[in-house]
RNA sequence: GUGUCUGUAGCUCAACGGUUAGAGCGCCUGACUGUGGAUCAGGAGGCUGUGGGUUCGACCCCCAUCAGACACCCCA
């Protein structure tokens, strides 16, 4: 391999992409902290044993290897299992319920595809140690706020409950083992249609009568109240499912109180979700602009932490897929379209004026303005303007003999080409004013 | 992990198995004034993803490998 190359499924992020990613991460951090969540950092590497036995079939996607000492290590598959490890390990230091967020890369040895990579960023927010429906509702509220602040206008959060899924399987006469298979088929409803699902169910040995029952229940649609009411009737007699419906109702009541618009969520009994550790609420956000998988997902997993600790620790949380968010936002033109970090370019007129320009640029920086100077004092103004233009900087300053003599600085608007003089002492305030006006429009 | 397709200049793409692999855009230099975008003139840039094979001769055909796209599978 003579020419440099990326490892399969792992990407570089050049400045324009990285700026959007950072905008996303910063926005999510702000929302998380607005809700009082605390940051947690854990290593990318864990003992393989820590990750094994929690993910079901997905386990084969874990990157595993041995270190120099022959220890079996693994790259983390998500940030949830490490959270569970931390909760068990530091149980004495953590006051529960604990609201924590974590942002970082995880790794899965999958075949890369649209919106799917082997190294991908997730932003997680979880409430550890509470089984209250208020915790579930808080997570959904964070989800809604985050997507709204990022600029999404037409997303929907699908809500479901593992015990509704279980109940539907049970009243259709299936045992727990078969239910998983069935739900994998139902999860594809949007993609292959009800006929396709019917066929798949048949292939998996579900009787036609049971398949029809399942399809009917799973395709219930309408207002959350209507869907829950109908499920109540249909699942009558299945205690766990009835309890799940009550739980969803309580969550929705809390959502309403927190002002989450009803148009943002639906009860969708067909939502399955793959990760095997979920035990209660499950949800994911979808948008018509991204047919390939969900933007984020999550749910309640009350037993996972208990696999490390002795007692069970009820937990609910979500994970944003940063790479998918990024790709969708790019397609929709959401977020800042900056290609660089600086806003102002200070030219250097000639080798005699180097000091004057350097002094000026430091003043701008002290005033909170991101600014750069030319690095080659002997290059002409034309070349310097060109550099400023190519970088996408909004303003260029000229400080030549004429300006120096008059105690002025020329401010050039690189978009319009217009140029005006400002007194040397007023430059920073004038630029702040211009930049604020530009940001507002 | 399975299947299909793709890989040529920084980017988008040409080139019948046959001379020295081309074009547009971009990049660099100059015309050019104390000033970018426009125009004109010139210039740099390639072991055709990589490694084998077939052939007198390979960008082109065959095999392998790496990377990418799409559809499965699954998921963020």
The Cα-based distances of A377 to A4, A352, A408, A413 in angstroms read 34, 9, 20, 21
Segments making up each domain of chain A, as ranges: 15-332, 344-440
Angstrom distance, A114 CA to B63 C1': 30
Plot region of A343 (φ>0 → left; ψ -120 to 50 → alpha; else → beta) = alpha
| DSSP per position, A72-122 | EEEE-S-SHHHHHHHHHHTTTTPPSSEEEEEEEEEE--PPPBTTB-SEEEE
Per residue in A105-121, pLDDT tens?
Answer: 999 988 888 888 999 99
Per residue in A371-398, pLDDT tens?
Answer: 999 988 888 899 999 999 988 899 999 9
Architecture of the domain delimited by A15-332: 2-Layer Sandwich (3.30)
The DSSP symbol for A9 reads: T
Closest nucleotide relative to residue A383's CA, C1' based: B36
Query: Is the per-residue pLDDT at A304 higher than 50?
Result: yes
Q: Which residues contact A118 (CB under 8 A, 6 or more apart)?
A: A7, A8, A9, A10, A107, A108, A109, A110, A112
Angstrom distance, A293 CA to B74 C1': 10
In strand B, which positions have an atom below 7 A from any protein CB?
A: 1-3, 27, 29, 32-37, 49-51, 66-76
Looking at residue A402, its pLDDT comes to: 92
Q: How far apart are CA A179 and CA A310, in angstroms?
A: 29
Residue in A132, A89, A141 with CA at minimum distance from that of residue A314: A132
Query: Is the per-residue pLDDT at A203 higher than 80?
Result: no
Query: Is the per-residue pLDDT at A184 higher than 60?
Result: yes
Looking at residue A275, its pLDDT comes to: 64
A246 falls in which pLDDT band (50, 70, 90)?
very high
Mean pLDDT of all residues belonging to chain A: 89
A1 falls in which pLDDT band (50, 70, 90)?
very low
Same topology for domains A15-332 and A344-440, yes or no?
no
Unique residue bearing structure tokens 């080798």 = A351
Tell me chain A's radius of gyration from C-alpha atoms. 28
Protein residue closest to B32, using CA and C1':
A382
Q: How far apart are CA A189 and CA A182, in angstroms?
A: 11
A350: three-class secondary structure by DSSP? coil
Looking at residue A201, its pLDDT comes to: 81
Angstrom distance, A2 CA to B22 C1': 26
Q: Which residues contact A441 (CB under 8 A, 6 or more apart)?
A: none
- Judged on CB neighbours under 10 Å (0-12, 13-18, 19+), A416 is exposed
Report residue A332 as tokens.
């929709």
Q: How far apart are CA A165 and CA A280, in angstroms?
A: 10
The DSSP symbol for A235 reads: T
**Is residue A215 within 8 Å of residue A301, measured between CB atoms?**
no
Angstrom distance, A379 CA to B74 C1': 56
User: Domain A344-440, CATH 3.40.50.800 — does that match?
Assistant: yes
**Is residue A103 within 8 Å of residue A123, measured between CB atoms?**
yes
Query: Cα A91 from chain centroid?
Result: 28
Query: Is the per-residue pLDDT at A287 higher than 70?
Result: yes
Unique residue bearing structure tokens 């045992």 = A175
A306 falls in which pLDDT band (50, 70, 90)?
confident
Angstrom distance, A3 CA to B48 C1': 14
């Amino acid at each position: 391999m003579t020419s440099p190359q990326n490892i399969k499924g792992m990407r570089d992020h050049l400045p324009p992409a990285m700026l959007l990613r950072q905008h996303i991460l910063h926005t999510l951090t702000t929302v998380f902290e607005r809700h009082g969540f605390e940051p947690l950092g854990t290593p990318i590497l864990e003992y393989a044993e820590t990750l094994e036995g929690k993910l079901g079939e997905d386990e084969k996607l874990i990157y595993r290897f041995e270190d120099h000492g022959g220890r079996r290590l693994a790259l983390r598959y998500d940030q949830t299992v490490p959270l569970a490890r931390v909760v068990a390990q530091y149980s004495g230091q953590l006051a529960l319920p604990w609201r924590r967020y974590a942002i970082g890369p995880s790794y899965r040895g999958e075949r890369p595809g649209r919106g799917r990579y082997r190294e991908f960023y997730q932003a997680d927010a979880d409430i550890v140690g509470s089984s209250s429906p208020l915790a579930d509702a808080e997570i959904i509220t964070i989800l809604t706020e985050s997507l709204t602040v990022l600029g999404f206008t037409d997303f929907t959060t699908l809500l479901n409950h593992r015990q509704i899924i279980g109940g539907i399987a049970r009243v259709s006469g299936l045992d727990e083992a078969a239910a998983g298979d069935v739900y994998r088929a139902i999860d594809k409803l949007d993609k292959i249609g009800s006929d396709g699902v019917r066929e798949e169910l048949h292939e998996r040995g579900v009787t036609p009568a049971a398949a029809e029952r399942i399809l009917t229940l799973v395709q219930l649609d309408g207002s959350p109240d209507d869907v829950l009411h109908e499920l109540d009737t249909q699942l009558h007699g299945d205690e766990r499912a009835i309890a799940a419906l009550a739980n969803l109702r309580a969550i929705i009541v809390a959502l309403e109180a927190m002002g989450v618009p009803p148009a943002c969520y639906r009860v969708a009994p067909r939502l399955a979700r793959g990760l095997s550790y979920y035990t209660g609420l499950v949800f994911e956000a979808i948008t018509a602009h991204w047919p390939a998988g969900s933007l984020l997902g999550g749910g309640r997993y009350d037993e996972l932490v208990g696999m490390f600790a002795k007692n069970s620790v009820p937990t609910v949380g979500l994970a944003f897929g940063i790479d998918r968010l990024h790709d969708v936002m790019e397609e929709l033109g959401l977020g800042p379209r900056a290609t660089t970090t600086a806003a102002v370019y200070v030219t250097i007129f000639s080798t005699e004026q180097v000091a004057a320009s350097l002094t000026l640029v430091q003043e701008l920086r002290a005033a909170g303005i991101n600014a750069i100077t030319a690095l080659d004092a002997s290059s002409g103004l034309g070349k310097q303007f060109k550099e400023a233009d190519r970088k996408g900087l909004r303003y260029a300053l000229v400080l030549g003999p004429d300006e120096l003599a008059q105690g002025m600085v020329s401010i050039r608007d690189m978009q319009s080409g217009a140029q005006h003089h400002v007194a040397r002492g007023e430059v920073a305030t004038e630029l702040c004013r211009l930049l604020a006006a530009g940001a507002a429009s």
